[in-house]
Structure 1
């Protein structure tokens, strides 16, 4: 098995080099965000960083940006003052692996009721939700100078 993986350029040394490369990319992206005045961390994950893909498969690159100014909560007791809090909601209209994010007040643990910016949408129930579609558009605009991006899957 090891010989087959080495022949397909997916051996131990290649896997270790991929992991080192993506760790460096995480550091570079995090520094780049800091230089832009934004306190975000970058994390690469998935088959590319784990070395569980082989050359030629055209595996995608999964990336996550973390913003410490935003608190994602599952229960109201986890709400924190003076920061963005998003409550995870799940109902019959959402796929099992997805959640809706309800926007909350900054100074009290209550749902936001006014459309304060264009990143928000009102659900038929009246709840204000963070718009994934508008966020994707914002990301596309922010990364427009990085070349062509191909979106796969639901996001």
Structure 2
């Protein structure tokens, strides 16, 4: 595909995305809304449950890349201070629940695996 055709295709695609609600402005609004929801969840659930917990929203909703009618789900990770979330083994804490987050070249960029390791009783 030559450069002119690529530019024309990109322009048309941008217009279609704008028409269905995927614009830079809307993506920014959605991201800010989900960051605020994350903070409110931390506060509300902690008060209701009486625990210190942390909540992280991720996926198409929090990235702002969903569109109306897509019925995308909400991805959330909740954990307490009894958990340790790690990307490598250097921070391993044997007395806690360790959640090891990992990726490799075979995992799509929007995915990760979380492997839970429970402390011995």
Count of residues in correspondence between the two structures: 95
1:85 positional shift: 3.4
Aligned pair 1:58/2:76, yes or no? no
Q: Unaligned regions of 5+ residues in structure 1, if any?
A: 89-96, 105-110, 113-155
Contact 2:38 2:56 in 1 (8 A): yes
Give SS of 1:42's match.
strand
Q: Unaligned regions of 5+ residues in structure 2, if any?
A: 1-12, 101-112
Listed one character per residue, the Cα deviations across residues 5-57 of structure 1 (whole Å, up to 9, x for unaligned) are: 11011111111111111111101101112313211111111011112221111
Give TM-score, length-normalised by structure 2: 0.63
Aligned pair 1:68/2:81, yes or no? yes
Listed one character per residue, the Cα deviations across residues 67-96 of structure 1 (whole Å, up to 9, x for unaligned) are: 12223577598225xx533486xxxxxxxx
Give the aligned CA root-mean-square deviation in angstroms.
2.7
1:103 positional shift: 3.0
Structure 2 equivalent of residue 79 of structure 1: 93
Q: Which has the higher contact order (CA 8 A, sep 6+)?
A: 2
1:2 positional shift: 2.5
